[in-house]
Chain A
Amino acid sequence: QVQLQQSGPGLAEPSQTLSLTCAISGDNVSSNSATWNWIRQSPSRGLEWLGRTYYRSKWYNDYAVSVKGRISINPDTSKNQFSLQLNSVTPEDTAVYFCVRRGGDRTFDIWGQGTMVTVSS
């Protein structure tokens, strides 16, 4: 069965970079039918889709306008994982971050366990 395992620090300093990794088991980051997403959840913003990476003969990325210019989502085929980097963070970026698979015909069907990231000095 497909599982996503998140890793990364739970604290980031203002103006620094938030970095998280999502390891995939039971599927492949290079799948031609899945997309690999990051979604965050906070009391003020609710559930917010941040962006995705996916492979369809070549690699594509899409990002939410709210974080465009600060975000990068990258696949790592050698480790079968994907990562999130969010630059220039502020306390408003404090949230639980989830890595999520969109599997083929279905929508967000597999979720990582979530990582609470606090932006604070």
Chain B
Amino acid sequence: DIVMTQSPDSLAVSLGERASITCKSSQSVLYSSDNKNSLAWYQQKPGQPPKLLIYWASTRDSGVPDRFSGSGSGTDFTLTISSLQAEDVAVYFCQQYYSGPFTFGQGTKLEIK
């Protein structure tokens, strides 16, 4: 199984400041045939299911604000929120869909400083 490891486990950032979360996979999730990374990011608020933010490592899902961006390739990825808003308080997960079983990171709890 591909193990996904996020850091940090929790993060406190001031409103309007940048927040960055990293995710490392135990093996590459890059498809060499089309140069796409099978890596997604989700946001989960209390009592709600996860919400897809980004797929193919850097493609924002429909309706996701452009302050959210994803980057990275191979085994190392980053989710960046360029200017933190109050509504961004949540737990964030990365997930690989390169090969089954499809695995998730342990989550990063993002709070306001």
Residues of A within 8 A of B (CB): 46-49, 62, 64-66, 98, 100, 102, 105-109, 111-114
Is B106 engaged at the interface, CB distance under 8 Å to the other chain? yes
A111 to B55, CA, bound (A): 15
The residues of A that contact B38 with a CB separation of less than 8 Å are 107
Question: Which secondary structure dominates where chain A touches chain B?
Answer: strand
Bound Cα distance from A108 to B41, whole angstroms? 10
A20 to chain B, nearest CB (A): 14
On whether the beta carbons of A98 and B49 are closer than 8 Å, the reply is: yes
- Cβ-based interface call for B30 (8 A): no
CB distance from B106 to the nearest CB of A (A): 5
Q: Known contacts A46-B106, A112-B49: does B101 contact A107 (CB below 8 Å)?
A: no
Question: Which residue on B lies nearest to A66, using beta carbons?
Answer: B101
> Given the complex, which residues of B lie within 8 Å of A108, measured CB to CB?
40, 42, 50, 52, 95, 97, 102
Residues from chain A with a CB closer than 8 A to the CB of B102 are 49, 107-108
Known: A65-B101, A107-B95. 4 other contacts (CB 8 A): A46-B107, A109-B52, A109-B55, A109-B61
B100 CB-CB contact with A under 8 Å: yes
Q: Which residues from B are CB-within-8-Å of A107?
A: 38, 40, 52, 55, 95, 97, 102
A73 to chain B, nearest CB (A): 13
Option from A48, A106, A112 in Cβ contact (under 8 Å) with B61: A106
| Distance (whole angstroms) from the CB of A22 to the closest CB of chain B | 12
**What are the residues of chain B within 8 A of A106 when measuring CB–CB?**
40, 52, 55, 61
- Min CB–CB distance A16 → chain B (angstroms): 25
With A49-B102, A108-B95 in contact, is A113–B49 under 8 Å at CB? Answer: yes
Report the minimal beta-carbon distance from A9 to chain B, rounded to whole angstroms: 19
For B83-113 the 0/1 string (1 means CB < 8 A from A) is: 0000000000101010011111011000000
